[in-house]
Amino acid sequence: MNSKLFNLAKDRNPVHLRHAFTVLEIMVAMALTSVIVVALMTMFNLTQKAFVENVTQADVMEDGRAALTLLRKEMSLISSSGFARVGKTNIFRDRFVDFNFYTQMNPSGSLSVRNSINTNTFQTNVMQDVFFLSNVKKTWKGTGYLVGSFPIVGVPIGTLYRYSRTAHESLLNQEVLYGGFRKAQVANERRIARAVEFTNLPPVIGGVIHFAVKAYDSEGRLYTAQSNVTNQFQTIRVENPSYLPTGDYQYRFWNKKVPDYLEVELGVLSPDTFERLKLEPDQRRALLFLQRESANIHYFKQRIPIRTASR
């Protein structure tokens, strides 16, 4: 009787029929879970990386457009002094005011970087210093742009700076307008040679690897070395020194002549790439780094009509 009761209770409570997970089953489950977690983490990291790259690119585009907007606003107002150049001076009411418009190759030289789209070609990047005059009523303004603060000697990439001075025409002299810009140029050249940060002028945009300005006439033709003119109304000097790439020129406009159009070219390295470049120990490593990161260079170009030009 007792045996029958025990067997009946055993049938109603079939705990003894249940089995626990084996070690192999637990290991398989853990492996599958690990694969799923790794896949999710990889997807998350890729999504986050794409998001950061898009935000960075948007920031670079915004900064580049802001810089071009500033350049367009100021360069469109270039004015001529209207007085003939005498010897090595430009006479403006018995006072020296040099150049209506002026560009000069930055001493850093040029840099060729592999084209990120067509890897069989190279983009030649140059640095130019730019100066020009503008006039509102009787107040004259000298404005200049130059690139400095190169983090590594021999690697032409740095920050674009802006120079600006104003003076009433009765107080104009060499030291007020172009003279002040020339002093900034000399100070910048000394710092470039030692990779020292340039702090004399306010910055516009960092990571600049290309900055060039080209001048065009009223018919949209590029001013070249064949465009030189000297007479009582205008003085134009266009140079293509051996250290400048073909198609790039240095300009001097005096007297009553200003360019009819300017074309500004700006190349900017993305901020994070620029910061990583600063960590490179020497020129050779830095140049190799730039070749690898050429896809992170963003180029801008804009044609600017000069309002005061006689068309």
What pLDDT is recorded for position 85?
47
Q: What average pLDDT does range 117-138 have in this prediction?
A: 82
State if pTM tops 0.85: no
Worst-scoring range by mean pLDDT, 129-138, 152-161, 173-182?
173-182
Say if residue 230's pLDDT is above 80.
no
What pLDDT is recorded for position 306?
94
pLDDT in tens, 238-257: 988 777 777 788 998 887 88
What pLDDT is recorded for position 95?
42
Worst-scoring range by mean pLDDT, 91-100, 173-182, 197-206, 294-303?
91-100
Note whether 178 and 90 are within 8 A (CB).
Answer: no
Say if residue 18's pLDDT is above 50.
yes
What pLDDT is recorded for position 211?
95
pLDDT > 90 in the chain, percent: 28
